[in-house]
Structure 1
């Protein structure tokens, strides 16, 4: 099932790598370099899934997740943290910010496929 996925990460290599992986799985992809841009792009692209890095400039992933939840379709989004931050307090921070899933980099194609299969289309 094809999904509309927005990926936000300030690391170009991570952004391109994940984009290529998800594109290869047949998904429609939009990219953002930071949290503020992710919120802007989401309003135009209307994704079903948003994958956010946490440590980004201008607006971090936590603030971006809160802003995305406030969009008209924000409650329906599957918001995934994909980060190097894997300590228990980071999981708690993402949960409080409105993330549905917290994944620690690097993530496998199988893990992503499983997460994406949990959304309705």
Structure 2
């Protein structure tokens, strides 16, 4: 089932690669290159799933997640941290910021497919 997925990453290659992959899987994809832009796009696009890199500047993925949760309908979005940060304290930080899932890069197509299948239609 097709989902509306917003991806935010300040690495252009990572962003376009993931967007192309999810589009090829049949999902509607919107892209943002910063946390602030992710908020603007989310307001317009109404994503069901938001995949955020954590290391973006000036607003990192943790701050963006908190702000997304504060939007109308923000608690119904599935927030996925997709990051190179994989230490236990990073998992705690993402949980406290309101993320549903913490994935460490690189992520497999099977992992993404499974996670997207968990969202409500």
TM range (shorter): over 0.9
Cα shift at 1:58? 1.6
Q: Tell me the equivalent position of 2:88.
A: 88
Q: By how many angstroms is 1:81 displaced?
A: 0.1
1:37 equivalent to 2:25? Answer: no
Aligned to 2:10, the other structure's residue is in SS state: coil
In the alignment, structure 2 segments of 5+ residues that lack a partner are none
| Cα deviation 1:55-112 (Å, max 9, x = unaligned) | 0012000000000000001000000000000000000000000000000000000000
| Aligned: 1:2 with 2:28 | no
Q: Per-residue deviation at 1:34?
A: 0.6
How high is the TM-score relative to the length of structure 1?
0.99
Indicate yes or no: 2:18 matched with 1:24: no
Count, aligned residues: 121
Unaligned runs of 5+ in 1: none
Normalization by structure 2: what TM-score? Answer: 0.99
The two structures, once aligned, show a CA RMSD in angstroms of: 0.4
